[in-house]
Each structure stands twice: as structure tokens, then as C-alpha cells.
Amino acid sequence: MHKKKVDHHLSELIYPRKNKKHLVLGKKPTEEAVLLQSNDYLAISNHDTIRNAQIDALIKTDKEVVMSAIFLHKDGEKDSFEQQLASFTGYEHCILSQSGWAANIGLIQTIIPANTPVYIDFFAHMSLWEGARTANAAIHSFLHNNVKHLEKMIKKHGPGLILVDSVYSTLGTIAPITEIVAIAKKYGCATVVDESHSLGTHGLNGSGLVAELGLSKDVDFITVSLAKSFAYRAGAILCSDKVGQCFPFVAHPAIFSSALLPHEVEVLTATLDLIKKCDQRRKQLFSQTSKLKNGLEELGFRIQSQSQIIALETGSEARTEVIRDLLEADNIFGSVFCQPATPKNRNLIRFSVNSSLSDDDIGKILLACDKVRRVLNK
């Protein structure tokens, strides 16, 4: 039975491609390539401050016990990374997790009973969907960023939990968080906003969109992957003290996976300090994003982005393969998004802009995209 399933995957995903690899795998980038695949939006992953913090933390650490977070005693840690991040975003409590994926699954499993109505944006991250499934919720999807459709669903099915991203990782669109919070209050719903792609880039000192909108006291939970602007491998939940007290003893990702090690938390602390000082990088990020977006629109591309994530909607697998190869032939490397990240035949190539992208780089991207447009319009 398993052989049939494996053969099906291979025949669907691997064998049809020209290079006999998955669609997301084209050429290997050269050193001269313009890389638009990383979510390191502030271009800090190789920053000396972070490197030195990691080296120092490893050198001074005598012993690190690898164990589940359920056994950790954190009483009295007044200036911990968790407390700093909670204060930074305007929440009472912060829970560190192994990833943004673990944060979303653990949180949703912890806070809702089975069969609770969950209202989820169609383009919300897969970890939010998986969290709702893990919690045995009654899942109701609403049209992307369509507040009227959300309200209609709540009227029909009753109060529950609303799940959205602040910045959507596929199209780069931004959720109407203010309107969603108003609806949540009106109908007695709780809200979870995944700020993975806005913490560090948006808001005062990078404190995120929820904080920028003054909604930290109105949005019940924020979740975040720290593998984006923080350029690390971790996740976090911003919540109330009560949720923080019970989470380690209820959430399966917290119970059955080892916690982050102390030296890793020290790296995150140094990164948070750096991010707060990155106003110039944030300014540069959005300046370059605007230039690229405007250039693509002038070429005739339909761009829905409202953020540093810019997507070329490429359609079918075959068409996406052609566009990917044309771009990579000109040393432009974006990320291919296909099933299960997007619906079938609604593939896209995502350009993740970062603050180190130069005007020359933007010129190269636009030249390559113009070539794509001319070839496909023949």
C-alpha cells in the first residue's frame, strides 16, 4: 500500500518535471545570483552582533540540559528574552517554542475545546489550519481578507476563534486587523494573529503590525516564527499570564519536544536588541520593495502585495516551470510556491525583498521579468 502512495507522489511531483526534481528545485544559485528566497528581511543573519553573541554564549555555557519545557523552572527571571519580547509587543506573557509551526499547533490545541467554530482566512498559513485540525475544531474558511464573508460565517455558526496572518506569506497582502477585531468583539470571538512576516519589519522599532495599530490589548494572541526577521529557528506565542501558566503542561509540542537551549535564547536576546535599532534597514526594505513593485506593475504584472513579499502569479505547474527557468537563466532566484502551499494551478514565484537589495539588483530583476513577459506573450 505504501509503495502505491510513494509512486503516486513521484509521478505527480517529480517525474513530470524536465530536471526530474520537484518544481521548487531549479538551478543552484551562483555567488552572483540575486537571491529572493530568504525571509531574512533585515539582512541580519550574518551580522557581527549576532555572530559574536552566539560564539560567546557557546563558550561560556558549561552545561545545557536537553529536556522538555515541561520540566523548566522559570520563576524570577525578570529580564528574560520572553519578558522582553512580551513587553516589546504589548503582551503580558511570551512562550518560546521550537518553531512557528509548533507555536500555532500548541496554542490552538490548548485554548479551544473540540468542535469550537474556527474561522480561518483561506490563505492563512498551513500551521494555523493544522492547529485547528489538531484541536478537532469545526473549521470554517472565509474568503481572503473578506470581512463581510467572515461576519456572515460567524452569524451562521456562532462565536469561536478567528485565525489570520498579519502579512500573508504567499501574496504579501495585509489582513484588515482593525476590522477583524471589531467583528470579534461584536460577536464574542477570540483572535489569533500570526505575525511571522511583520514582527521586526513593521511597527515602532519593529514591534509588529498589531502594536502599530494599537491593538495589543484587543488581539487575544499573537504567534510568530522567529525564522523570518529574527533569522533563527524558533517560534513564540504572545498571550496572557494565565495561558502562559498552563501551556507547557497542555500543549503537545511543548510536552513532547525538547525546549530551546539557553545559548539559543541568548542569541535571540541579542537579535531582539539589534532589531530595535534597525530603523534604517526597515526604511531601506520598504523603499526597495516599492521600487520593485512599481517596476513590475509598469511591466504589466498583476501584483497584490502590500508588503515586502511580492508574488508573481504563474498559474499551472508547466507555466511555472518555464517562468522559473527563464528567471534563473538570468540569475534571479525566487521561491516557487505550489501545492500544498497554494491551490493546484494557482502557483506563484515569491520574491522576498530584503534591506540589502540594491538598485542594480532591482534593475536585473525587472530586466529578467520583462524577458519573461515578452517570451510568454509571443
What integer pLDDT is reported at residue 49 of this predicted model? Answer: 93
Look at the block and give the residue holding cell 533569522: 231
CATH of the domain at 124: 3.40.640.10
What integer pLDDT is reported at residue 168 of this predicted model? Answer: 98
What integer pLDDT is reported at residue 203 of this predicted model? Answer: 97
The H or E element that residue 298 is part of is helix 279-298
* Same domain membership, residue 31 and residue 126: no
What integer pLDDT is reported at residue 76 of this predicted model? Answer: 53
* Same domain membership, residue 136 and residue 74: yes
* Same domain membership, residue 186 and residue 56: yes
Number of domains in the chain: 2
* Same domain membership, residue 265 and residue 140: yes
* Same domain membership, residue 292 and residue 154: no
What integer pLDDT is reported at residue 1 of this predicted model? Answer: 65
What integer pLDDT is reported at residue 239 of this predicted model? Answer: 97
What integer pLDDT is reported at residue 210 of this predicted model? Answer: 98
The amino acid present at 254, given as its one-letter code, is A
CATH of the domain at 315: 3.90.1150.10
The H or E element that residue 210 is part of is helix 209-212
What integer pLDDT is reported at residue 376 of this predicted model? Answer: 78
Q: Which residues of the chain have pLDDT under 50?
A: none
Give the SS3 label for residue 239. Answer: strand
Secondary structure of 95-144 in the HEC alphabet?
A: EEECCHHHHHHHHHHHHCCCCCEEEEECCCCHHHHHHHHHCCCEEEEECC
Within a domain: residue 158?
Answer: yes
Q: For residue 365, with 0-12 CB atoms within 10 Å meaning exposed, 13-18 middle and 19 or more buried, which class applies?
A: buried
* Same domain membership, residue 301 and residue 370: yes
* Same domain membership, residue 30 and residue 71: no
* Same domain membership, residue 334 and residue 186: no
* Same domain membership, residue 78 and residue 32: no
In what side-by-side order are the strands of the sheet with 93-97? Answer: 93-97, 235-239, 221-225, 190-194, 161-165, 117-121, 138-142
* Same domain membership, residue 262 and residue 119: yes
pTM greater than 0.85: yes
In degrees rounded to 5, what are phi and psi of residue 258? -70, 145
Within a domain: residue 133?
Answer: yes
Domain final position from 248, 276, 304: 276
**Structural domain of residue 317, as residue ranges?**
17-44+279-376
* Same domain membership, residue 306 and residue 249: no
